Amino acid sequence: MKKIVLSFFLLLESSMAIELGKVPITVTIDGKNGGKIDGSGWESSMLKGKIHTLFYVDPDKRDLNNPLADALKAKKFDRKKVNSVAIINLAATWLPNVFIESKLKEKQKKFPHTIYVKDKKKVLVKQWNLEDDNSDILIFDQEGKLIYKKFGKVSDEEIKDVIVLIEKNL
């Protein structure tokens, strides 16, 4: 019986995992769970109409994928076709929220077109089975399908591949 219950939970968890080539289940981050910097809610269905690069980041790993963010900024993609979202996993750090909020304001100045979201309860870790305590990169096409995912540091070679992937999907 224990094996049946364990198998059920493993199957359930894998069904929630975000998969390449598929539109993930719709997730909302608002209220007690967090939301955008301006206080409004964020919903994953907003990841349509453009190519979106989503950075899901533990604040302790905030600089891990800066080279990718800088490379995307340097490409100067048309903002009507390409955009980015940075979701900060506030529950993954011991850093005070006040400190993180000030850092987010700095980042907003450096990347004014990026949508910044605070995830206070690890919503995406739980709903999409993302890696916790890391820097996760997800790229979605215009239809909201996942076309790239990486948990951890994106290498220089992978950065080139990401740029090519985005250009190919424009």
Written as tens digits, the pLDDT of the chain (170 aa) is 544 444 444 334 444 689 999 999 999 999 999 999 888 999 999 999 999 999 999 999 989 999 999 999 999 999 999 999 999 999 998 888 788 878 887 878 877 889 999 999 999 999 999 999 999 999 999 999 999 999 999 999 999 999 999 999 99
CA distance 44 to 46: 5
Domains identified in the chain, total number: 1
What CATH number has the domain bearing residue 112? 3.40.30.10
Q: What one-letter code names the amino acid at 102? A: S
Q: Strands of 135-140's sheet, edge to edge?
A: 34-36, 115-119, 82-89, 51-57, 135-140, 146-151
Beta-bridge mates of residue 128: none
Q: Which residues contact 23 (CB under 8 A, 6 or more apart)?
A: 143, 144, 145, 146
